Amino acid sequence: MHKLPKIAVTMGDPAGVGPELCARLLAETNVADRCSLIIYGTAKVLDAAAEKLQLQLPEHCRVEEHPLQEDVVPGKVSAACGQASFDYIDQAIAAALNGTVDAVVTNPINKEAWNAANISYPGHTELFADRCDTDRFCMMMYAPSFSVAMATTHVGYDEVPSLLTTDRIVEVIELAADSIQRIQQRPARLTCLGLNPHAGEKGLFGNREEELIIAPAIEAARAKGIQIDGPLPPDTGFLPSRRESTDCYICMYHDQALIPFKALNFDTGVNVTLGLPMIRTSVDHGTAFDIAWQGIADVSSLVAAVDLAIKSAG
């Protein structure tokens, strides 16, 4: 009999949509037929969300319990919820590192709540990389239509140029090419975007980043057998004709990647951290405090994240 993979799902910020998404995942979908789900969160919060939505949780529902020090107020930022969401992730990472689970799927955290709890990490990606003791990692958003991988993530625009190096871009290209090939079972077709308007227009815009940093990275990747075009102007890079021939875009910064990706793949997108010694996927949206605990949050992205984790673990 085929052994089902064990998938850890973190609850996310208790005041956000994470608890109701966990409840919907357990009560309304059949993902538990394909894996052994373990919720890393607070049982009373999961139960309260299910009761609020009038959902019947399965009897075999397994929760790795972490206590919450105060009552949850849906949609409200609090240090207690920030700390709890951090601790859920920390427990799940430890379980993956010791082999207790085969993959970790995360629900959204609130960065303001983390800051209120004096947690210095800017997001999930950096926390996972630190706990896994790796500096060779990147953030990729995956969807069957196309994916995006980022050379920089949670930093201000003014910091991006100084963080871009040829070695870093080659690293992201290699990580993305390897991941896409494993998921799609064929060589990846990549497109690399420029940093500046019109991809620099031969040095007219920016500081010749396309010529001095990005183009050499593309050539180095090609020398390793990776199929990649670019650097292309970002404003036309996502036209339908280009998307048809691209599995994954290599983007220079966060919003260059996520604005087009979320506009076209919001319900089916999955956040994947590449370069870790474990499988980590996540929903592609935030805590959505404005609709939290109202029964209208869409579980599609969480289902897609779990499905990709199952596929990767297999």
pLDDT at 1 over 60: no
Which residues span the domain enclosing 247?
136-271
Contact 32, 58 (CB under 8 A): yes
Confidence of residue 200 (pLDDT cuts 50, 70, 90): confident
Together in a domain, 1 and 129: yes
Together in a domain, 172 and 111: no
pLDDT at 203 over 90: no
**pTM for the full predicted model:** 0.90
- What is the average pLDDT across 85-104? 97
Q: How far apart are CA 203 and CA 162, in angstroms?
A: 17
Contact 72, 81 (CB under 8 A): yes
Together in a domain, 141 and 130: no
Together in a domain, 266 and 280: no
Q: How far apart are CA 46 and CA 232, in angstroms?
A: 46
pLDDT at 127 over 80: yes
- What is the average pLDDT across 206-221? 96
pLDDT score, position 276: 95
Together in a domain, 86 and 40: yes
Together in a domain, 142 and 266: yes
Confidence of residue 70 (pLDDT cuts 50, 70, 90): confident
Q: What is the CATH number of the domain that holds 171?
A: 3.40.718.10
Together in a domain, 155 and 253: yes
Who has greater pLDDT, 135 or 59? 135
Together in a domain, 108 and 222: no
What share of residues in the chain are helix, strand, coil (percent, to 5)?
45, 15, 40
Together in a domain, 2 and 130: yes
**How many domains is the chain partitioned into structurally?**
2
- What is the average pLDDT across 23-42? 94
Together in a domain, 85 and 118: yes
- What is the average pLDDT across 270-290? 95
Together in a domain, 141 and 173: yes
Together in a domain, 73 and 121: yes
